[in-house]
Every structure is written in structure tokens, then in C-alpha cells.
Structure 1
Amino acid sequence: MKIQKYSKLFAVALTIVQIWTVKSQSINEDKINYDEMISTMENQLSQCRAQSKTQKNSELWTILSDIQQIKSNICDIDSKLKGKDEIIACQEVQLEDKTKLLNFQIKETSKLKQEASDYQVQIQNLQSIITSYNTTNNKNNAELSKLTLEYNRFNQYRGNEIIELRNELKQNKLNHTSCMKLLDDNFKKCESDNKTTIAELKERFLKLHAEADAVMEKRNIAEFQANECNSLGDELRNKINSKTDELKKCIMKNQWLSTPTLNLPSSCLNLSAGVHEIQIENGKHFNVVCDGDGWIIIVKRFDGRQDFNKTWKEYVDGFGDLQNEFFIGLEKIHLITTLRRYKLQIFAEYEELTDSADYDNFRIGDAESQYELEEIGNRESYSYYHVLYHYKNQKFTTYDRNNIGNSDFNCADDGRGGWWYTKNCQFEWKLHGAKSQLMKIRPYFN
């Protein structure tokens, strides 16, 4: 009987241990209805107490105490489980909030990425604009440097010109002082001469008046005779000009017929450097200097051994040594440039720089036009000093023949030589101030 009772108690205890084991294993899993299990254990304990009223074994009470302790522990565990459930629920809420925040941040990050991509495109566009601006800025800087150089050179020239004007003004002041002194002396002399008697002056005045009347009468007669002579002279000049034109035509015709056709080149193209004889299309032939690149040298100055202050006839015919310094001659330049289109190239060496210019259509007129610079064309290269288009339509001038229009001042009087001078010589000062000068022409090709 005791064995059966102990067996039941042991079974109850074992059941409680199993329940505790299951309870311990399922703490973090599904919840169990602990109230129902506890009620079942209490019923079993009541049955055991009813069966063992007469026997109170110390071992049984120990087991019951253990069961009571286990019950108390179960209550503690249940309380802890409830606390953990609350913590888990709170953490689930927090996790949900964090998930929402994370999703919001993901969306914001996507927007920021898109904005960053847009900014990157804008930055690339701005970089392209900056590159284009830098290229334009570099070109502008180069042009600015070039203009600054020209401005500095121009200021240097203006400074020299101002110094010359100041010196001239100083000289004029000295001359003015001398003139004032001379005027004072003359005035004093006049005051001394005025001391002569008024009667003597009247007598001299009447005598001069009579002589003036006689001169006026003779002048009127002379003007009448001069008008008659002018009319006769006009008729005679017209006849002479007509005969001269006929004579020129006859001479040209005879020259054309009498000039033999020689097997000579018509220019310096394909000729070596040096002196060569050429024959142009009208049959004229003469020696020229070739530079080896197809150019005919028409002016060469480099050491000053040749005097260029020559007469009109010398400039027409040419002068100098073809092996050294020379001028080929206006008539030859006219004959060469009048039959086809020629380019002109000018080189000049100064103290501070070497300058050059190219023009694509150079032509001068004949003797009747005073070898006018009829055409110069377009400038093909940059030049600081040479602006030859200023001379277009100007006639050639030497110290003994002034062909400068509307000017009594001859720019060739200072010994610089002949040129297509403009009025007041305003563009020639630097060209003739060169240490060396070279002018050459060659046929124009597109």
C-alpha cells in the first residue's frame, strides 16, 4: 500500500518535473495555459492527502514542500514571461517604428542619389562651359597681349614724336625771340626814318603813284597779249599732243615688230638666285635679280653704300648695282605688273624688330600717270609698320618732281628718296627709318 502511494506521489512529482521541463523549454515559444495545469496538480495533491491522512511521512512532506517551491518558481517564471512579453511587444513597436524610419530614409536616400546624379550632369555641363570659356579667354589674352605690344610700340613712337615736337617748339620760341628782337630793331629804325620831312614823303608817293599807273597800263596790255598767246599755245599744244600720241603709237608698233622673240623666261619662277635676263609679254627684255623662290627683287637696301636721293629720271630708269643695293626702275615695274597680276612682299629691319608685309595685287601706272600706285590688293600677313594701302592712288614723287596732291611741301626734300608720298608725309616716317629694306614681286597664283 505504501509502495503504491509513494508511486503515485513519485508520478505526481515526475509530472511536475516534466511540466517544469516543458515550461522551461517553451519559455520563448508558444504560451501554455498554466492555470489549468496548476489546477490539475492541486487535484492530484488533494487525492494524495486524502489517501495519506494517517501517515505523515517526512519524505512526503519534503516532496510537497518541493512541489510548493516549484509552484512558487512557476509563478515567478510566469511573471517574468509576462514582463518579457511586454518587452517583446515594446521592441516590436520600436522595430516597426525603426522599419518605417528606415524606409523613409531609403526613400530620401534615393531622392538624394537622383539629385546627386542631376548635379553631376550639371557639373559636367558647367565644366564644358568652363573649358569653352577658358579657350575663349586664352584667345582673348593672346589678342590682348598683341594689342598691348602694339599699344606700347605706338606709345614709344608717340613719345619720340612728342619729344621732337617739344624740341621744335623750343626752337620756334628761340626763333620767335630772334624775330621779336629784329622787329624791335626795325621799328626803331622806322621811327628814325620817319624823321624825314613829310614833304619828301609826299613827293615820293606822287612819283610812285604815277609809276604805278604806267605799270598797270603796261600790265593790261601784257595780259591781253598773253591771252592771245595762250589761245595760240593751246592750239599748238593740242597739235603737239596729237602728233606725240601718233609718234608713241608708231614707236610702240615699231618696237613690237622690231623686238625679236627670245627664248627667255618671263619671270623668276623656277630660276636660281642671282641676275637673270627676262622677257615680258610685250617683247621688252632686261636683267633682274631673282631670289631663288620665284621673286623678282625691285628694291634692295642694306648698308647705305647706294644713295637713294635720286632724280625723277633716275627713278624711272633705275639705278644702283644689281649685285648690291639698287632700285630696278619705275618703268620696268610698270611693264612687269601691268600685263598680269603680281604679289608684293616687303621686309624691313629696324633697331627694335624685323617687320614684313604681303599684298596680293600690286600694280603701278605708266609715265603719264606719274607711275601712280594703282592697286595694292589685300594684305595677307600681319605687319606693324607697313600699311601700304595708305599710298594707293598716290603718284610717285622725287626731290625734283613733287606729285603730292594739294601740297606745296615735298616729302622727298629731306634726302630720303623717291616714294608714293602722302600729304604731310604722315605714313612714311618709319618705312624710311629702317636699317635695311627689301621689296620683291612674283606672279600671283590662287
Structure 2
Amino acid sequence: MKIQKYSKLFAVALTIVQIWTVKSHSINEGKINYDEVISTMENQLSQCRAQSKTQKNSELWTILSDIQQIKSNICDIDSKLKGKDEIIAYQEVQLEDKTKLLDFQIKETSKLRQEASDYKDQIQNLQSIITTYNTTNNKNNAELSKLALEYNRFNKDRGNEIIELRNELKQHELSHTSCIKLLDDNFKKCESENKTTIAEYEKKFLKLRAEADAVMEKRNIAESHAKECNSLSDEIRNKINSKTDELKKCIIKNEWLSTPTLNLSSSCLNLSAGVHEIQIENGKHFNVVCDGDGWIIIAKRFDGSQDFNKTWKEYMDGFGNLQSEFFIGLEKIHLITTLRRYKLHIFQEYDQLTDSTDYDDFRIGDAESQYELEEIGNRENDNYYDVLYYYKNQKFTTFDKNNIGNSGFNCASEGRGGWWYAENCQFRWNLYIKSILMKIRPYFN
């Protein structure tokens, strides 16, 4: 019976030891389930109480008291462990912050290392540049030394030249002194001779004065005759003026007329490219520019070297250089296009496009019609812009001769150049057109 009693006590003790072992192991792992431990102990205690209802003695109650004390100790340990868990959680947060700070510092360190590497490369480049500069500087110093030597040698040579020039200057001064002395002697001689000449001039002056008085008397008579001439009738003066105008027109029309040159072509047909003299059917002959394909170039502008803002007289006669930019002249164009039918080609170039137009019957009038654009015929190609459509039957206009109907504004002003302007003023020699080429040739069906 006693043995059985002690066996049960031994089993209870063994249970307590197992509980402590489990608890110690759980504490070491940091994973304690206190509720499970207490539940196990309570189950063991209940079994022990059931077996000991009839066998209550002091030893068993002592064991139970110890179990209660152990349970109380376990609660204290649990409380302490919770405090430690909080401390561990706080330390883990701090450790995480420190880890982030360390990562940031590592990144900044890497960045600084990269910058240091870049600075190192820059320093190496600068050192290379400095080396190159020093090399160049040494070369420049050598050149400067060489130039200094040449400068010193030049100064020495120049000093010798200055000395020679000073010697020559002294010689010139001596010669100048001699010349001055010679001039003084000549002046004195001349002064002596002039005294005699003055007396002779005084005699001549008196004679000329008497002659001048006689001339004044004749002048008075001439003025009297002039007043009589001024009393002529206005009709006679008008006739004289009319004849004078006719004479001027005749001179204009025949200004190129001279002794006819034989065996000259009347156009550029069958002539090579370049300047040729032609003779038209009425006998007049003058130089023209042929393009080598039968065309007579009447206007050419391509580089702005020739100013086209010219007077009426200049446009009538022509201007410019036949080898470069020029306008052949309205009178020549009239003479050429009057005797037979001519075709006209106009090529224009703007900043970003080109345009060409052909007309099959081009003709202008004479000076009396103000070189009116009498005919243009039909336009042979359907291109971007009909250049002459708005100007047919318009008179030619320059900045000093406005023939634009009743328009108060002169389209040829402000540097636009002469043209057969209408009121819209669309054509520009010098404003928008980059280059222009106008040429004519006989028309063939």
C-alpha cells in the first residue's frame, strides 16, 4: 500500500518534470503556449485528486501547493516574457530603421564612389588638357622667342633704314634749300619783268574797256531786236515746238540706224548662244543675246547685281550688261515684235517654287502708245500663274512715269521696277521674284 502511494507521487512528480522540460524547451525556442502547459498540469492535478480523495495526507497537499506555486511562477515568467517580447519588437523596429539607414548610406557611398570615379576621370582629362596646353605653350614660347629674334633683327635693320632715310632727308633739305633760293631768284626776276608787263596790261585794259563800251551798245541793240522777236505769234511758236517734237521722235526711232550691215540675221534662229548683231527687216541693227535655241533674251535677272528700278528713258533704251543682268529696251522689243509674229517665254523663280509661261503672239506698241502691251495671244501651258493675263492693253509704267489709268498710286515706286502694271500691282522685279528670264522667237505653227 505504501509502495502504491509512492508510485502515484512519483507519477505526479514525473508529470511536473515533463511539464518543466516542455516549458524550458519552449522558452528556448521562443514559442511558449502557456495555456496548453497549464491545461496539461490541471488535467494531471484532476487525475491526482480523483485518485487521492480517500488518501489525503500532508505530502500530497504539499505537492499540490508546490504545483500552485509553480503555476504562479509560470504567470510571472509569462509577464516577464511579454515585456521582453515588447522590448524585442522595439529593438526589431530600431534594427529595421538602422538597416534602412545603412542601406541608404550604402547607396550614398556608392553614389559618392561613382562621383569620385567621375571626378577622377575629369581630373585625368584635365591633366591631359594641361599636358597638351603645356606642350602648345612650349611651342608658342619657342615661336615667341623666334619672333623676338626676328623682331630684334627687324628693328636693327629698320634702324639702319631710318639712319639712311635721315641722311636722305638731310640731302633733300639741302636740295630744298637750294630750290627755295632758286625760286626766290626767279621770283625777283619775274617781279621785275611783271612791272614792265603791268604797264603794258594797263594800256590793253583801256583799249578793252573802249571795246566793251562798244559791245554794250551793240547789246542794247540786240535786246531791242530780242523784244521784237518775242512779239512773234503763239501760233508760230507752237509750230516750232511741234516740229521739234517730231524731230525728237524721229531721232529716237532712228538712234540705232546707221549704214546697213549686210548678211546679218534678222533673229537668233540658227545662231549660237551668246551676243550677236541682228538686222531686222526695216534696216535697223543692234546687238542681242541669243540662247542657242533660236530665242532672243529680252530680260534677265538672277543675282541682283543690276538695279531694275530705272527711269522711263532707261527702260525705253535698255540697260544692264548683256553678259549678265539686263533689259534689252522697249523700243527694240517694239521694233522686233511689230514686223512679224513672235512667241514669248517667261520663267520665274521664287523662294520655294518655279513657274514658266508661254504665249504664242507677243507684241507691244511704240513710244506714242506708251509701249502698250497690245497682244499676248494664247497661253500654251496650264501652269501655276498666268503672268500677263491682267496686264494686256496696259501701258508701261516706271517710277517717274505713271500710266496706270486713274490710279493715284504708282506700282513702279518703292523699288518695284518698270512693268505693264494694272491697279493690282501684282508683278515684282525686286520684291518676291528671285530670278526671271524673258525671251522671244519667231512663231511657227
Q: Same fold, TM exceeding 0.5?
A: no
Q: What is the TM-score normalised by the length of structure 1?
A: 0.44
Q: Normalization by structure 2: what TM-score?
A: 0.44
